[in-house]
Chains A and B, each alone.
Chain A
């Protein structure tokens, strides 16, 4: 990538971050309240009736909710903002009249999605540590997983938003594809508890690999997490190229 390309990526990123910080009061509420609601309702309410063996249900749940936070703050923001830029403000067309390549615009959006997911993760991790005394283990490893999954879901957000022409359809796809991932990918219960035929399917989803990895980091179990990370990265790269392809196809007609 040359200087021009880097400047374009950063320009898109700066615009998105400006929007994010401008709406910090709304974002902060979402960042702090939403995941904590899940922790309180499921972790502390229902969780008292759940037996997870050695660990409490909240300790089991925390790494899972962390990745729900990452998913929401990368996929949702990227797909919504991109759809607005394409259909509502139509600024996406403008951006493309500048000396830019579609690839660089997509990368800018993904970078903004990753940044927002990281910010949300930091807030969640701090709240958990200082409110409930729950820690997440080796943070540098965790950050690698967060960045990889955030990039994956940001790319997915770009691909789906560009593929669909209608914000209503986006909501439907989100609630039929992305939301169920939160329920099945090991966030609330171990994948091993799912019906046997579902397990290979769910196990193949990158989010499952991330939750598994994060839980291993947090609970310091002896699982090799490197394959999980590699698996996610390969998927992310693939989805990134798909998203650039769909973006080009849809916008340059």
Chain B
């Protein structure tokens, strides 16, 4: 069994009468990217802030590399880098100096620190912007810089709070590459997001959190299995004969195992199957016999999982 870098047991956080985090449990293994997926107000930031020592738990236990965060805050923080949801940059300093003064708090020697600042800037491909101020950078550059700052002290664990929120798809993909690179460097990453796609692409394992509770946890594939009908095949048929043909197809497919449901409609037929192998079988039996005007294969997304679990759309 691999070592738990982060372990959270029955963690609760109350703000007055409001319970932001309501007894959650999870463990993040060494070297994995663990995703915290949930809508606004789910309790993601609250949990990260507790892990980073910015907030105190109301009850429950959290450990970083085996150290209790309330008993050994310094030891925990040494192993941790965090990119908070707000950017938190000093308006009076350029980005290089911002990194410098943050690094100084880690007790690094000036020489070592200067090397690390340059390395962090060049990793984020921001070397030539070192004299710029934070607000002069584009959104994508800003997020890269925030991730680079979290890495400055070379921590084992990196917490990223919504690293790509508000970015256009292209910049988002770029930031993803940087996050993947953290994993290649052997870091353990805990990130929060409300993008299903992001969790799907980046994370080894995901916890879906809603109203302060974890409602599902597993690999992206495991979570998708929560849905009974894995893959949907939508077949469009010639409108003139649709009502005859779709009855025939329905009859043909009844004998194929792995087909979970068949639904006729006015412009074709919809088939739900268990896994990819069945798709081929289904298509073969249809294409050879009938004239079809379109095929659409829809794989389930975490969006569907969230909908299935909560009965609500995520946004």
Query: Chain A interface (Cβ within 8 Å of chain B)?
Result: 3-4, 7-8, 11-12, 14-15, 18-19, 22, 85, 88-91, 93-101, 251-253
Write out the residue numbers on chain A whose beta carbons fall within 8 Å of the beta carbon of B82.
97
Q: A8-B105, A97-B82, A101-B74 are known contacts; what are 14 more A-B pairs with Cβ within 8 Å?
A: A3-B107, A7-B104, A11-B104, A18-B97, A88-B91, A89-B92, A90-B86, A90-B87, A93-B88, A98-B102, A99-B105, A100-B74, A100-B77, A252-B54
- In the A-B complex, the 3 residue pairs with the smallest Cβ-Cβ separation, listed nearest first, are A98-B105, A11-B104, A99-B77
Whether A8 lies near B84 (C-beta < 8 A) is: no
Whether B89 lies near A96 (C-beta < 8 A) is: no
Q: Which of B76-109 contact A (CB under 8 A)?
A: 77-78, 80-82, 84, 86-92, 97, 101-102, 104-107
Whether A90 lies near B88 (C-beta < 8 A) is: yes
Contact of A14 with B104 at beta-carbon distance under 8 Å, contacts A19-B92, A91-B90, A252-B54 already known = yes
Query: Does B56 belong to the interface (CB within 8 Å)?
Result: yes
Give complex CA distance A96, B88 in Å: 12
Whether A97 lies near B55 (C-beta < 8 A) is: no
Whether A15 lies near B88 (C-beta < 8 A) is: no
Whether A22 lies near B92 (C-beta < 8 A) is: yes
B171 to chain A, nearest CB (A): 23
Give complex CA distance A40, B101 in Å: 41
Q: Which residue of A lies closest to B77 (CB)?
A: A99
B90 to chain A, nearest CB (A): 5
Q: Which residue of B lies closest to A92 (CB)?
A: B88
Write out the residue numbers on chain A whose beta carbons fall within 8 Å of the beta carbon of B55.
252-253
B205 to chain A, nearest CB (A): 24
Size bracket of the B interface: 20 to 34
Whether B54 lies near A97 (C-beta < 8 A) is: yes
Contact of B107 among A4, A94, A101, A253 (CB under 8 A): A4
Select the residue from A4, A14, A89 with max chain B CB neighbours within 10 A.
Answer: A89
Write out the residue numbers on chain B whose beta carbons fall within 8 Å of the beta carbon of A253.
15, 55-56
Give complex CA distance A4, B97 in Å: 21
Write out the residue numbers on chain B whose beta carbons fall within 8 Å of the beta carbon of A96.
53-54
Write out the residue numbers on chain A whose beta carbons fall within 8 Å of the beta carbon of B87.
90
Whether A7 lies near B80 (C-beta < 8 A) is: no
Whether B91 lies near A89 (C-beta < 8 A) is: yes
Write out the residue numbers on chain B whose beta carbons fall within 8 Å of the beta carbon of A101.
73-74
Give complex CA distance A95, B89 in Å: 11
12 A-B interface contacts by CB (under 8 A): A11-B104, A12-B105, A89-B90, A93-B54, A94-B102, A95-B105, A97-B54, A97-B77, A98-B106, A99-B74, A100-B105, A253-B56
A37 to chain B, nearest CB (A): 28
Query: Does B153 belong to the interface (CB within 8 Å)?
Result: yes
Write out the residue numbers on chain A whose beta carbons fall within 8 Å of the beta carbon of B92.
19, 22, 89
Query: Does B52 belong to the interface (CB within 8 Å)?
Result: yes
Give complex CA distance A165, B74 in Å: 28
Contact of B56 among A7, A18, A252 (CB under 8 A): A252
Whether A99 lies near B88 (C-beta < 8 A) is: no
Contact of B84 among A14, A22, A94 (CB under 8 A): A94
Write out the residue numbers on chain A whose beta carbons fall within 8 Å of the beta carbon of B89.
89, 91
Whether A98 lies near B77 (C-beta < 8 A) is: yes
B40 to chain A, nearest CB (A): 19
Whether B88 lies near A91 (C-beta < 8 A) is: yes
Write out the residue numbers on chain B whose beta carbons fall within 8 Å of the beta carbon of A3.
107
Select the residue from B15, B81, B89, B102 with max chain A CB neighbours within 10 A.
Answer: B102
Contact of A99 with B90 at beta-carbon distance under 8 Å, contacts A11-B101, A93-B84 already known = no
Whether B104 lies near A97 (C-beta < 8 A) is: no
Write out the residue numbers on chain B whose beta carbons fall within 8 Å of the beta carbon of A19.
92
Whether A98 lies near B153 (C-beta < 8 A) is: yes
Q: Which residue of B lies closest to A95 (CB)?
A: B105
Contact of A97 among B15, B84, B91, B97 (CB under 8 A): B84
Q: Which residue of B lies closest to A6 (CB)?
A: B107
Select the residue from B15, B55, B73, B88 with max chain A CB neighbours within 10 A.
Answer: B88
Contact of A7 with B107 at beta-carbon distance under 8 Å, contacts A94-B84, A97-B77 already known = yes
B43 to chain A, nearest CB (A): 14
Whether A15 lies near B101 (C-beta < 8 A) is: yes
Contact of B80 among A11, A15, A97, A251 (CB under 8 A): A97
A165 to chain B, nearest CB (A): 16
A180 to chain B, nearest CB (A): 31
A21 to chain B, nearest CB (A): 12
Give complex CA distance A101, B78 in Å: 12
Give complex CA distance A19, B90 in Å: 11
A79 to chain B, nearest CB (A): 17
Write out the residue numbers on chain B whose beta carbons fall within 8 Å of the beta carbon of A90.
86-88
Contact of B52 among A4, A7, A97 (CB under 8 A): A97
Select the residue from B86, B97, B106 with max chain A CB neighbours within 10 A.
Answer: B106
Write out the residue numbers on chain B whose beta carbons fall within 8 Å of the beta carbon of A99.
73-75, 77-78, 105-107
Q: Mark B103-120, 1 if CB is under 8 A from A, else 0.
A: 011110000000000000
Give complex CA distance A98, B82 in Å: 9
Give complex CA distance A22, B91 in Å: 13
Write out the residue numbers on chain A whose beta carbons fall within 8 Å of the beta carbon of B15.
253
Write out the residue numbers on chain B whose beta carbons fall within 8 Å of the beta carbon of A89.
88-92
